[in-house]
Amino acid sequence: MSAAPATTVATAGPPVVPDSALVAARAADEKLGEDTVVLAMGDLLGVVDAFVVTSGRNDRQVRALVEEVERRVKDHDGTAPMAVEGLRDASWVLMDYGDFVVHVFAGETRGYYDLEHLWSGAPRIAWQEPGRGRLSASSSSSSAYS
């Protein structure tokens, strides 16, 4: 008896990420996080629905970004990160919210690990509210957000 062939089911519509991940991205942007992106990870990773990636210019700003994201997500839906790793040296802080993860990098560390390239197959999610937010020179010259 042979096994039935595997089938795939295509999903319609854009990927869905937790609303709190968008809140985290906006919080980072408002605290002057650099090149903040939201990646829909559900179809690629299966463990989390989204990555929020941002960076600060120095360890002090990285810590300020982490504090602001934590405060704003807590205000939004009452949740706190299940774990926060890397805060001591602040070159790469990972905030695990279960269904999404926030990565806050120091600039040079972000370039070294290059998560956006590693996960280039992940759709980028538009997270800025219409008519609000700031665009960096690199994001305004490309159509990185869909």
- By residue range, what is the domain housing residue 113? 19-123
Residue 71 falls inside a structural domain: yes
* pLDDT at residue 90 is higher than 50: yes
At 139 the three-state DSSP class reads: helix
Residues 6+ apart with CB under 8 A from 137: none
Residue 53 falls inside a structural domain: yes
Burial class for 105, CB neighbours closer than 10 Å (0-12, 13-18, 19+): buried
Spatial CA neighbour of 17 closest among 44, 40, 43: 40
Kindly report which listed range (3-7, 66-70, 79-83) carries the lowest average pLDDT score: 3-7
* pLDDT at residue 63 is higher than 90: yes
Residue 37 falls inside a structural domain: yes
* Domains of the chain: total: 1
pLDDT recorded at residue 5 = 45
Q: What is the pLDDT of residues 95-144, one digit of tens each?
A: 999 999 999 999 899 999 999 899 998 999 888 765 444 433 333 333 33
Looking at the whole model, is its pTM more than 0.95? no
* pLDDT at residue 145 is higher than 50: no
Residues 6+ apart with CB under 8 A from 74: 80
Pairing of strands 50-56, 100-106: parallel
CATH number at residue 66: 3.30.460.10
